[in-house]
Amino acid sequence: METTISKPGKGIHLRRTARSREAGYSGRSRNRKPPLNEGIRPESIAYDLNGAIEEEPKTPSPAAAAFVSGAKAIVPVLLALIPFAVAFGATAMGGGLSALETLAMSVFVFAGAAQLAAIPLISAGASVTIVVLTVLVVNLRLTLYSASLAPHFRRLPLGWKGLLSYLLTDQAYAATITRFDDGETEEPDKRWYFLGVALAIWVTWQTATMLGVFLGSWASEGWSLDFVLPLIFIALAVPAIKDLTTAAAALSAGVAAVFAAALPLNLGLITAALVGVLGGLVAENVAERRRR
Amino acid sequence: MNPLVLWLTMVGAGAVTFALRLSFIALLGRIEIPPFLGRALRFVPAAVLTAVVIPLLFYENGALEASLGNERLLAGLVAALIAWRTRSVLFTLGGGMATLWTLQAMGQSL
């Protein structure tokens, strides 16, 4: 799920309003407008939100405003996310999982590529170790996001760290890191902004998985809907090839995958992936040497 | 897969994924990504995603089928072209499925 999105511009006004009002209470307000008019928009939105956040105070708060602007900023990405989750739901049903198991997987793992990659392995009767190892390899990139977000979540209590970590996805990372690094969102709004983004993704993912479950149980085998799985991965792999070195990684992984598919214990995917990473590193070294 | 084993697999996969996500957020200041690992991680998406796709296209019913008679391989190539030009998941899905159905219909009518 390599989605890069442009910096969300919407909602800035909202959060500024909320913060400047806060600043107004401490007596160092810089805005010239009377605070009376400004209260209207955040208030009406925060009101709608009261049901969504547990025990959020009824008065409009910067936290609620940050949450809403995060959830709003991610909407275009949500639309792109739906086909993945639907494909997962349908593929999992086709792969022999029950509706409950399919949904449980979306809740437990909550990582599209890993979930989809696990399905053919589970159908082929691979062992627990192989499936878990494959999921580990597919999700290794999450450590990069974790490292990059860590300074921003440094001061959070462990519970918050756990919650936001569970909700960390490619999309949530892409939608927040730029504005966090640029200082556009400050603590304590960061956690709420991230929660707004990530929770919207979570709800969409689970809902669209269910949609896929229905579609999968209703579709006929003659439609070759299992072909959706490779297609989704093609749609993900192509943008992941950004330059010559990543192309070398993909090429070596692809060649290795043709031969490694025959490996016992369904070790083919992991082997091919590691060969691919190695190919990328070699290509990078060659490129660096040429430059000198 | 036996349901109990399946649930065990899913819990294991979930736990591993959560640990990866939490790793640096929880351990900040105590460990850093070693530079070599950071460089290697850059290639993981391209490598892993390709490694998933290729066997699904090249193998039919467990046998290597690298010929023009392999409808899935051809439809996959068309889909890759669409993905490259449009960067759209929906177009890639739609174009790939349409190509496969067309090839299948042509194969049956021959």
Tell me the residue type at A131. V
pLDDT surpasses 60 at A135 = yes
Q: Is the dihedral of CA A213, A214, A218, A219 positive or negative?
A: negative
Q: Which residues of B touch A143 (CB under 8 A)?
A: 20, 23-24, 33, 41
pLDDT surpasses 60 at B79 = yes
Tell me the domain boundaries of chain B.
1-32, 39-109
pLDDT in tens, A256-279: 999 988 776 668 888 998 999 999
Contact A89, A213 (CB under 8 A): yes
pLDDT of residue A98: 93
Instruction: Provide mean pLDDT across the span A224-234.
Output: 83
> Which position has the higher pLDDT, B45 or A65?
A65
Q: Which residues of A touch B63 (CB under 8 A)?
A: none
Residue window 82-141, chain A: list those with CB within 8 Å of chain B: 83-84, 87, 96-97, 101, 104-105, 107-111, 113-114, 116-118, 120, 122-123, 125, 128, 131-132, 135-141
Q: Which residues of B touch A176 (CB under 8 A)?
A: none
pLDDT surpasses 70 at A219 = yes
pLDDT of residue B63: 81
pLDDT of residue A60: 63
Q: 3-class SS at B67? A: coil
* Cα A212 off chain centre by: 18
Token output for A101: 């198991």
Interacting residues of A286 by C-beta distance below 8 A, sequence separation 6+: none
pLDDT in tens, B21-65: 999 899 875 667 788 877 887 888 889 889 988 988 998 877 888
Contact B21, A146 (CB under 8 A): yes
pLDDT confidence band for A37 (50 / 70 / 90): very low
Interacting residues of A149 by C-beta distance below 8 A, sequence separation 6+: A164, A168, A173, A176, A177, A180, B24, B25
pLDDT surpasses 80 at A38 = no
Q: What is the pTM of this model?
A: 0.71
